[in-house]
Amino acid sequence: MKLRRTLLTAAAAASAALALGLPTAAQAQNYKSEYRMSLVVGTAFPWGKGGEIWANKVKEKTNGRINIKLYPGVSLIQGDQTREFSALRQGVIDMAIGSTINWSPQVRQLNLFSLPFLMPDYAAIDALTQGEVGKDIFALLEKAGVVPLAWGENGYRELTNSKHPVRTPADMKGLKIRVVGSPLFVETFTALGANPTQMSWADAQPAFASGAVDGQENPMSIFTAAKLHTVGQKNLTMWGYVADPLVFVVNKEIWNSWTPQDREHVRQAAIEAGKEEIAIARKGLAEPGQPLLKDIAGLGVNIVQLSPAERDAFVQATRPIYTKWKGQIGADLVNMAEKAIAARKP
């Protein structure tokens, strides 16, 4: 009789847990005490801050059932950011906010966002990530073995160097520019006459300080938080040639180990954190007058703002690369992106 009462009590507890969307005792055993989130940079940067916001929101929404620890500097894979997607699929990493650039070697369609001069403004980025293109990219990521939840943003990648102001493609000749380990970036900078050098972010800063490389391209939030003006990066060209959206993702097995309600909590937390992170990434650049640039000029940085005609010279110089990679990414996807951008609302 006592055993029957115990079983009935256990069954009632399990039913109540299911009704509330809470993990049953068996499921709770599958929940890890800590989940590892991979990030390229820390919380001083909008990207890393997005990870912190996501982790805090998940903890709050799940009442502490899902605890996330941040691993900046892609430290779970010894700083090799282009291996992050593979490590995520293999379960070395539980969740991540990853750059479309870093994951493009494994998912070639992510090179879409790195096509030179495809996206002329923030409205163009939003037209892609928040529209049909974004849905198609998420479907591709799911097919590749991860669970994508939301979009974030690293930002427009502007050009800096220690040698001289860059206003024309001819000014790029011979400049040693640090680029991410993606063939599209190497080809783009080679077409402009520069000498692109692939290296991870961890290796890049010492290389600027020593003069081993002359310049780099990154969002302004990276430039300011990393204090790149202190390592010789005194010339900035605002050319807006590419921007890299970020993707909030979870390893598939980890995702499947959570209750449906907790999955929804994690998804909602990612969507909210993504919106907040994008606002932080655009701060000082999306507003009229771009106040962040005034702050950067105050650090002794020489800022070149290209005229439409000057920018078009860079567009034309990189057009053969755009055309070549359109075929490699998939002409249908690129055409869809071009149409979405043409129809965007400012």
Q: What does the pLDDT average to over 33-50?
A: 94
**What pLDDT score does 15 carry?**
52
Count of domains observed in the chain = 2
Selected residue with higher pLDDT from 250 and 86:
250
**What pLDDT score does 7 carry?**
52
The verdict on 187 and 220 lying in the same domain is yes
Q: Cβ distance 107 to 144 under 8 Å? A: yes
**What pLDDT score does 333 carry?**
98
Is residue 40 one of the residues assigned to a domain? yes
Q: What does the pLDDT average to over 20-48?
A: 81
Is residue 15 one of the residues assigned to a domain? no
**What pLDDT score does 200 carry?**
83
Q: Is the pLDDT of residue 12 over 60?
A: no
**What pLDDT score does 77 carry?**
82
The verdict on 61 and 201 lying in the same domain is no
Selected residue with higher pLDDT from 341 and 42:
341
Q: How would residue 73 be classed by pLDDT, with cut points 50, 70 and 90?
A: confident
**What pLDDT score does 29 carry?**
60
The residues with which 218 forms a beta bridge, in sequence order, are 158
Is residue 13 one of the residues assigned to a domain? no
The verdict on 276 and 324 lying in the same domain is no
Q: Cβ distance 47 to 246 under 8 Å? A: yes
The verdict on 274 and 292 lying in the same domain is no
Is residue 3 one of the residues assigned to a domain? no
Selected residue with higher pLDDT from 262 and 41:
262
Least confident of 109-118, 192-201, 307-316: 192-201
CATH number at residue 52: 3.40.190.170
The verdict on 122 and 254 lying in the same domain is yes
Is residue 6 one of the residues assigned to a domain? no
- Residue % of the chain over a pLDDT of 70: 91
**What pLDDT score does 74 carry?**
79
The verdict on 318 and 182 lying in the same domain is yes
Q: How far is Cα 296 from Cα 233, in angstroms, rounded to an integer?
A: 11
- pLDDT tens digits, one per residue of 153-195: 999 999 999 999 999 999 999 999 999 878 999 999 999 999 9
DSSP result, 275-294: HHHHHHHHTTTSSTT-HHHH
Average per-residue pLDDT for the chain: 92
The verdict on 103 and 168 lying in the same domain is no
Instruction: List the 35-38 sheet strands across, edge first.
Output: 68-71, 35-38, 95-99, 243-251, 146-156
Is residue 275 one of the residues assigned to a domain? yes
The verdict on 219 and 138 lying in the same domain is no
Q: How far is Cα 220 from Cα 155, in angstroms, rounded to an integer?
A: 8
The verdict on 208 and 252 lying in the same domain is no
**Containing structural domain, residue 82:** 30-154+245-282
**What pLDDT score does 346 carry?**
80
Q: Is 85 helix (H, G, I), strand (E, B) or coil?
A: helix
**What pLDDT score does 208 carry?**
95
Q: What does the pLDDT average to over 268-291?
A: 96
**What pLDDT score does 2 carry?**
52
The verdict on 221 and 274 lying in the same domain is no
Is residue 264 one of the residues assigned to a domain? yes
Q: Is the pLDDT of residue 144 over 90?
A: yes
